Amino acid sequence: MDTIFALATVPGRSAIAVMRLSGPATGTVLAHLAGALPPPRRASRRTLRDTSAEPLDDALVLWLPGPASYTGEDSAELHLHGGTAVVEGVGAALVALGARPAEAGEFTRRAVLNGRMDLTAAEGVIDLIEAETAAQARQALRLAGGGLASLVQGWAERLTALLARQEALIEFEEEDLPGSLDAAIESGVTELAEQIAIRLVTDNGAERIRDGLDIAILGAPNAGKSSLLNALVGREAAIVSARAGTTRDIVESRLILAGLPAVLADTAGLREAGDEIEAEGVRRALHRGEAADIVLAVLVCEASPDPATLALMARRPCVVVANKADLGGPVPDGAIPVSAVTGQGLGLLRARLQAEAALLAPSTGAALLSRPRHRAALRDTLAQLGEAQAALLPELRADALREALRALGRLTGRVGAEDILDRIFAEFCIGK
């Protein structure tokens, strides 16, 4: 196994730069660089020197012998002055001493391979790094702290016990085993399948917390959709013009709702298109509306509701906005009257969006299935438990239980992890 190094702080000029090392030769490399190994787990001031004994920096050094380290290997941290020349000089010295630059996510990958954490905890680490809001950070901390792994471990232990009992029935078929054992296995499989099925249905907010919400603004041309987007995000994100059809493609901007990131999308006006470019814009607008978590259907107070927007409202739930309320005119039933120009009603609209966001992604401690692969693994587990329930022979039930255990193990990486490691750790930054 190579000894690796990488910056754990943002590249570029800074007061402090932290260089991390991990691997079997870390102690040797550190001793050459710092003159001698410092006491374990104690910050020590050392003059770092290259292979020619030229001084590189006056730094704080931490020696972290394995296995009690982040990666489970011998590790070290170099707290350097953050100048470019210092960082590059130390990096060159590390290469000269036999270390190599780490790949993206390689430190955390080694932690998984060395049993310091499971795959779900590793995903929690990257989610924590990328968290934009407090809700995302809280969820990532639960995941990184083993919240999902603990739940899955409990299921795995129960499934292992059921499989052991089933194997005992097969192995000792001619022995006088209790007749209730087979019924207990059936009952245990049914109970476990029900609990996993309930979790799949009820734990539906974690992915939205992680990925954020998609909000689409749809309506007729000149309904004020672009002005509404600009007013909600507080900047000129979309071009505003009295000319119909100004917005041909989707214009996106980000905002925070109920502690969740959201993408607000301004779309082309819904009408009979005058050319193929506008027709494509309308098609994209409708597609975005069908896929969005929340749709703002924009009407105009002074005008009759347009048929295209009414048709959209009939197909799916919408937050209906009656724009241009400052010009007067009737407000359709159930619509929120606003003026993107004067700001009238924007507070009420924001409150409604906050409420809708909170309903879609409740910030609860129970939400942990934050990625599609989590759900896929549990669905595969549930399918195999169903096979076990339907099995007519003990051997077929045992095979199904083994496959269920294997599917559950893929979630934490305890079984069959190699095929998904590359995909997961490619998301990491260098140095983590």
pTM exceeds cut of 0.85: no
- Mean pLDDT computed over 359-374: 76
Mean pLDDT of 128-155: 89
The closest alpha carbon to 404, from 376, 383, 425, belongs to: 383
Tell me the H-state helices in 172-275. Answer: 180-202, 206-211, 225-233
pLDDT above 70 for 178 = no
For residues 106-110, give the mean pLDDT: 93
* Whole-number pLDDT of residue 228: 87
Choice between 355 and 3, residue whose per-residue pLDDT is larger: 3
Per the prediction, the chain carries an average pLDDT of: 84
Domain boundaries, the chain: 4-102, 120-205+370-425, 213-360
Tally Cβ neighbours within 10 Å of residue 373. 17
* Res. 14 pLDDT band, cuts 50 70 90: confident
**Residue 239 pLDDT more than 80?**
no
Per the DSSP assignment, residues forming a β-bridge with 45 are: 60
Separation of alpha carbons 130 and 127, rounded Å: 5
Specify whether domain 4-102 bears CATH 2.60.40.10: no
- pLDDT above 60 for 419: no
Cβ(298)–Cβ(309) below 8 Å: yes
* Span 360-382, average pLDDT: 83
User: Which own/partner pairs from 167-173 qualify as long-range (CB within 8 Å, at least 24 positions apart)?
Assistant: 167/398, 169/394, 170/394, 170/395, 170/398, 173/394
Tell me the mean pLDDT in the region 377-386.
96
pLDDT reported for residue 176: 57
What per-residue confidence (pLDDT) applies to 172? 65
Q: What is the DSSP letter of 40?
A: B
Mean pLDDT: which of 58-67, 304-313, 326-335 is highest?
58-67
Res 424: pLDDT: 47
Q: Note the pLDDT of residue 273.
A: 58
Q: Are 219 and 270 in contact (CB under 8 A)?
A: yes
Q: Is residue 6 predicted with pLDDT exceeding 60? A: yes
Closest alpha carbon to 282 in 249, 323, 241, 238: 249
Omega before 67 cis (within 30°)? yes
Which pLDDT band holds residue 243 (cuts at 50, 70, 90)? Answer: very low
Under the banding of pLDDT at 50, 70 and 90, the label for residue 154 is very high
Annotated binding site for Mg(2+): 226, 247
Across 41-60, average pLDDT: 95
* CATH pick for 120-205+370-425 out of 3.40.50.1460, 1.20.120.430, 3.40.50.1820, 3.40.50.1360: 1.20.120.430
Binding-site positions for GTP: 222-227, 241-247, 266-269, 323-326
Which residues face 4 on adjacent strands? 22, 100
pLDDT the model gives residue 173:
60
> Which residues make up each annotated binding site?
20, 77, 116, 222-227, 241-247, 266-269, 323-326, 432
DSSP 348: H
Backbone angles phi, psi at 6, to 5 degrees: -170, 155
Q: Can you tell me the distance from the alpha carbon of 246 to that of 64, in angstroms, rounded to the nearest whole number?
A: 60
Write out the binding residues for (6S)-5-formyl-5,6,7,8-tetrahydrofolate.
20, 77, 116, 432
Which segment, 104-108, 181-185, 313-317, is predicted with the most confidence on average? 104-108
**What would the pLDDT profile of 403-415 be if each residue is shown by its tens digit?**
999 999 988 886 5
Contact predicate 345/325, CB 8 Å? yes
Range of weakest confidence among 55-59, 138-142, 204-208: 204-208
pLDDT at 25: 97
d(CA 122, CA 146): 10
CATH 1.10.579.10 fits 213-360, yes or no: no
The more confidently predicted of residues 172 and 207 is: 207
What pLDDT is attached to residue 283?
75
* Res 244: pLDDT: 46
At residue 425, the pLDDT reads: 55
Sign of the C-alpha dihedral computed for residues 127, 133, 139 and 144 taken in this order: positive
Residue labelled with tokens 């493609």: 249
